[in-house]
Amino acid sequence: MTLFPLPLSQYFAPFGVYLVYLLIGFAFGNVLEMAGFGNSRKLAAQFYFRDMTVLKVMFGAIITAMVLIFSATALGLLDYNLIWVNPTYLWPGIVGGLIMGVGFIIGGF
């Protein structure tokens, strides 16, 4: 068995697992807020190409995670089959993304 994904439910009691998820989410939100993603003007500036921080951060996170996941799998540390991949609903996903993007821009006025 590979080391990762860690079987958290075997290490902690049932509710300890949720504490781990809570801490991860809190840290994630904290870092994003420190980077200025809570500021709607910064988010709207992305659309007008004035400040490309959102693109850089999001895509930077994507490629860092991708490279680390596949490197860990190639080294035998991680079992990629056990990683949750959101099932793809293609056209609803595209429409949803467009709606969310429009909302971001409207919110940035």
Partner 1 sequence: MDAIFFTLGVFFGIFLFGETVSNFSTFWYSSYLGRFTLPELFGVPTGWVVLGVVLMALFMFFGAEQLEKIFGKKDPSKAPKWRYAAAGALVAIAVALVIVGQPTNNERWASISGEKQALLDERQVQIHPGELLDLIHDNQIKIIMLDVRDEMDYNLFHILDARHIPINELQGIVSDLHFEPANTVFVTMSNDETAATDAWKYLVAESVPNVYILEGGINNWIATFGDDDLTKTLNSGAGDDQLCYIFDSALGSRNPAAEPDAESVELIYTPKVKLELKRAPISGGCG
Judged by the rule CB under 8 A, the positions of this chain that interact with partner 1 are 1-2, 5, 7, 9-10, 38, 40, 45, 48-52, 55-56, 59-60, 62-64, 66-67, 70-71, 73-74, 76, 79-92, 103, 107
Q: Please identify, using beta-carbon distances, which residue of 23 and 62 lies nearer to partner 1.
A: 62
Distance CA 10, CA 54 (A): 37
Residues 6+ apart with CB under 8 A from 29: none
**Which amino acid is residue 99, in one-letter code?**
I
Residue 30 backbone phi and psi in degrees, to 5: -60, -45
Written as six digits, the tokens of 28 are 């994630």
Q: How far is the CB of 38 from partner 1 (least distance, A)?
A: 8
Residues 6+ apart with CB under 8 A from 48: none
